Amino acid sequence: MRKPLVAGNWKMNLDRRAGVELAGAVRSHLDGLQGVDSVIYPPFVYIEEVARACAGTALVVGGQNICDQEVGAFTGEVSGAMLRDVGATVVLVGHSERRHVYGETDELCALKVRRGLASGLDVCLCIGETLEQREAGQTEQVCSTQLHGSLNGLSTEDMAKVTIAYEPVWAIGTGETASPEQAGAAHAYVRGVLSGIFNQAVADATRILYGGSVKPSNAADLLSVPDIDGALVGGAALTAENFLPILDAAAEVCVR
């Protein structure tokens, strides 16, 4: 039984006031919903205030990135312990913008996954192919390499704290969404890879989110695909007007 999860990745958007206000709206809305989990990922500097605004509620707050190292001379980096200290309980690893804008490799993602878990954080590992890779027929190979590269060696207990987000790079921030068929095929494949790395029970229990131009108008169609267990939302997570209907769609269609 996988409970649907709708996550909002704010990326480098909003300011302190807008962030706290949006978190308040999501928190109140979530209070009235059954059967859906939600996480918001504010920029580092707003995590503490947003987490305070969400304390004692079901709304979870996470970090968008984590340093692979524990502590020390790593200018500009933020550690897992620091994320915990300000109220984050989950962290994104390997987001496409980290991989493609900042050159993060699977090796670095693997270290970050381990550092997140060692810090007591849950981890949402993002994977996905570029347009070039999709057109070359490499979608499955890319997803498999990213999953193996970042998850090999984890225990089944570790995997209880890991969520996967399949985010095709060509669908991120482009307005172009993978069709439910395309996303469903990729998710089924990802679940198969998880079964191969771990076992069928881990594959069945792991939530796999879809990300890439999810919005109120396409959320229900995507979320009703059996292997799609939720959404990782970017642009549409920046206003209550867009994000709350996606939560509603998950609560309605993801009952399984």
Q: Which residues contact 98 (CB under 8 A, 6 or more apart)?
A: 65, 104
235 binds ligand 13P (CB under 6 A): yes
Q: In degrees to the nearest 10, what's the CA dihedral of 11, 179, 219, 52?
A: -20
Catalytic residue among 49, 95, 104, 187: 95
* Residue 140: CA count within 13 A, CB half-sphere: 8
172 binds ligand 13P (CB under 6 A): yes
- By rule CB under 6 A, what string of x and - marks binding of each residue 196-225 to ligand 13P? ---------------xxxx-----------
Determine the residue with CB nearest ligand 13P. Answer: 234
Helix (H, G, I), strand (E, B), or coil: what is residue 123? strand
Residue 15 carries which side chain, given as an amino acid letter?
D
Does the CA dihedral 125-171-47-249 come out positive or negative? negative
Q: Which of 106, 129, 167, 229 binds ligand 13P (CB under 6 A)?
A: 167
Q: Which of 5, 50, 124, 233 binds ligand 13P (CB under 6 A)?
A: 233
CB of 213 to ligand 13P, least distance (A): 4
- Whether 167 is catalytic: yes
9 binds ligand 13P (CB under 6 A): yes
CB 187 within 8 A of CB 166: yes
Whole-number Å distance between alpha carbons of 96 and 172: 9
- The string of DSSP letters for 29-90 reads HHHT-SS-EEEEE--HHHHHHHHHHHTTSS-EEEES---SSSSSS-TT---HHHHHHTT--E
- By rule CB under 6 A, what string of x and - marks binding of each residue 47-86 to ligand 13P? ----------------------------------------
- Count of positions on this chain that bind ligand 13P (CB under 6 A): 14
Q: Which of residues 96-125 bind ligand 13P (CB under 6 A)?
A: none
CB 130 within 8 A of CB 170: yes
CB of 201 to ligand 13P, least distance (A): 28
Whole-number Å distance between alpha carbons of 237 and 216: 10
CB of 156 to ligand 13P, least distance (A): 26
Q: Which of 61, 86, 232, 251 binds ligand 13P (CB under 6 A)?
A: 232
Active site amino acids: 95, 167
Residues that bind ligand 13P (CB under 6 A): 9, 95, 167, 172-173, 211-214, 232-236
